[in-house]
């Protein structure tokens, strides 16, 4: 087992360092940690390097000094998919790697051995390429897995029917009720905040799609893995706590957040599910009208 852990940092060095020291250190199997420092500055690079005794990487093709911790400095904000791909490419270039753990920095482990158990389970399933744990929010709500939502279901009915439905009816119609734990097994989408992939499968399927920025990465990865006959697996025997959305909302207004989500998700629906450009256009009109009514006083 040769595990590489990739964390994309964006202007949140203190949280990333705390996460590594308080949670990642619970992982007992051999591993390397690669931090992709998006929108890097000299100060942020140095802060990460000094606090983690890490090696700075400015060119992923150059052979690095041996270390457990690496910081890849990148002046632009690559987003989630490109950032994780950059970290993975660095590992492929220089180290033998059998598994990748892609993780946010707003995670708390609820089982100290969850990574080892996830890898063991993944390796026992020949038709599975990625695996995710139970993901709980701060109020104890389940955040994973999710079913497939058709485009019009996602960007029309959800917005315009929701105000006229009771909470219980909305949860039932849109399958949003996570109060009951989903069954262990193959699901369409597992939460992208913390998951493990087989490194060979990840490379064969083309890694993450670089045309997204902050959303739809895990759904698209599920689609890409399907192209090589591999699936996503939900493994609720182990769990994490996820402070969902806090980091993103620190840097984006709610309206921009929703528009970024639509941009990535409409790309997914168009490329991977064959939704027409006309439907995308009408969905955008529906979204803009919804935002105008919701956020205009």
Mean pLDDT to the nearest integer, 8-20: 96
For residue 200, give every residue at least 6 positions away whose Cβ sits within 8 Å of its Cβ, in sequence order, or none: 98
What token pair was written down for 23?
A: 């949670």
Q: Is the pLDDT confidence value at 32 over 70?
A: yes
Q: Which pLDDT score is estimated for 146?
A: 84
Average pLDDT over residues 46-68: 96
Structure token pair of residue 276: 């027409």
* pLDDT recorded at residue 215: 87
Is the preceding omega at residue 188 within 30 degrees of 0, hence cis?
no
Tell me the C-alpha distance between 235 and 240, whole Å.
Answer: 11
Can you give the pLDDT at residue 213? 84
Does 297 have pLDDT greater than 80?
no
Look-up of token digits 């059998």 = 98
Quote the mean pLDDT of the chain: 89
Q: Residue 287's pLDDT band (boundaries 50, 70, 90)?
A: confident
Give the per-residue pLDDT at 153: 81
Nearest to 3 by CA among 17, 22, 21, 24: 24
pLDDT band, residue 178 (cuts 50/70/90): low
pLDDT for the residue numbered 172: 65
Which pair of tokens denotes residue 277? 């450009």
Higher pLDDT, 267 or 169: 267
Which long-range contacts (C-beta less than 8 Å, at least 24 apart) are formed by 94-98?
94/63, 94/64, 95/2, 95/4, 95/32, 96/2, 97/2, 97/3, 97/4, 97/199, 98/1, 98/2, 98/3, 98/198, 98/199, 98/200
Do 6 and 102 meet the contact criterion of CB atoms below 8 Å apart? Answer: yes
The pLDDT, as a whole number, for residue 292 is 82
Span of 8-12, 221-225, 251-255, 271-275 with lowest mean pLDDT: 251-255
Encode the chain in three state secondary structure.
CCEEEEEEEECCHHHHHHHHHHCHHHCCCCEEEEEEEECCCHHHHHHHHHHHCCEEECCCCCCCCCCCEEEEECCCCCHHHHHHHHHHHHHHHHCCCCEEEEECCCEEECCCCHHHHHHHHHHCCCCEEEEEEEEECCCCCECCCECCCCHHHHHHHHHHHHHHCCHHHHHHHCCCCCCCCCCCEEECECCCCEEEEEHHHHHHCCCCCCCCCCCCHHHHHHHHHHCCCCEEEEEEEEEEEECCCHHHHHHCCHHHHHHHHHHHHHHHHHHHHCCCHHHHHHHHHHHHHHHHHHHCC
| Predicted pLDDT of residue 168 | 64
pLDDT in tens, 135-159: 998 877 788 888 888 888 877 776 6
- Give pLDDT, residue 182: 83
Q: Is the pLDDT of residue 290 over 70?
A: yes
* Residue 87 scores a pLDDT above 90: yes
User: pLDDT per residue over 101-122, tens digit each?
Assistant: 999 999 999 999 999 999 999 9
Residues in the chain: 297
Identify the residue whose tokens are 């959305």. 245
Q: Tens digit of pLDDT for each residue in 195-249?
A: 999 999 999 999 999 999 888 999 999 999 999 999 999 999 999 999 865 555 5
Q: State the pLDDT at residue 244.
A: 64
Q: In percent, how much of the chain has pLDDT > 90?
A: 70
Give residue 31's pLDDT: 96
Contact criterion met (CB below 8 Å) for 230 and 206: no
* Res. 30: pLDDT tops 70: yes
Ordered structural domains, the chain, with CATH: 3-145+182-243 (3.90.550.10), 148-177+252-297 (no CATH)
Residue 185 token pair: 């097994």
b/e map 227-240, b = 16+ CB within 10 Å? eeebbbbbbbebbb
């Amino acid at each position: 087992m040769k595990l590489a852990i990739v964390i994309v940092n964006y202007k949140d060095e203190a949280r990333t360092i705390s996460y590594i020291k308080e949670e990642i250190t619970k992982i007992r199997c051999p591993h390397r940690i690669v931090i992709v420092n998006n929108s890097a500055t000299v100060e942020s690079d140095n802060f990460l390097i000094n606090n983690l005794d890490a090696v700075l990487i400015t060119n992923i093709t150059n052979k690095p000094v041996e270390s457990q911790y690496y910081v890849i400095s990148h002046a632009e904000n690559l987003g989630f998919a490109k950032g994780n791909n950059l970290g993975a490419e660095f590992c492929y270039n220089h180290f033998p790697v059998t598994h990748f753990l892609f993780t946010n920095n707003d995670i708390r482990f609820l089982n100290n051995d969850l990574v080892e158990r996830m890898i063991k389970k993944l390796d026992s399933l020949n038709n599975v390429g990625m695996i995710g744990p139970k993901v709980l929010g701060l109020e104890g709500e389940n955040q994973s897995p999710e079913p497939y939502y058709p485009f019009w279901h996602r960007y029309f009915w959800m917005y315009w029917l929701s105000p006229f439905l009771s909470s219980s009816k909305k949860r039932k119609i849109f399958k949003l009720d996570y109060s009951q734990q989903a069954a262990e097994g193959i699901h369409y989408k597992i939460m992208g905040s913390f998951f493990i992939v087989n490194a060979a499968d990840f490379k064969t399927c083309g890694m993450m799609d670089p045309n997204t920025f902050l959303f739809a990465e895990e759904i698209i990865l599920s689609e890409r893995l399907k192209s090589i006959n591999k699936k996503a697996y939900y493994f609720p025997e182990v769990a994490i706590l996820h402070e969902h959305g806090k980091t993103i909302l620190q840097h984006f207004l709610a309206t921009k957040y929703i528009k970024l989500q639509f941009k990535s998700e409409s790309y997914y629906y168009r490329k991977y599910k064959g939704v027409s450009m006309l439907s995308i256009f009408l969905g955008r009109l529906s979204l803009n009208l919804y935002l105008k009514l919701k956020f205009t006083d």
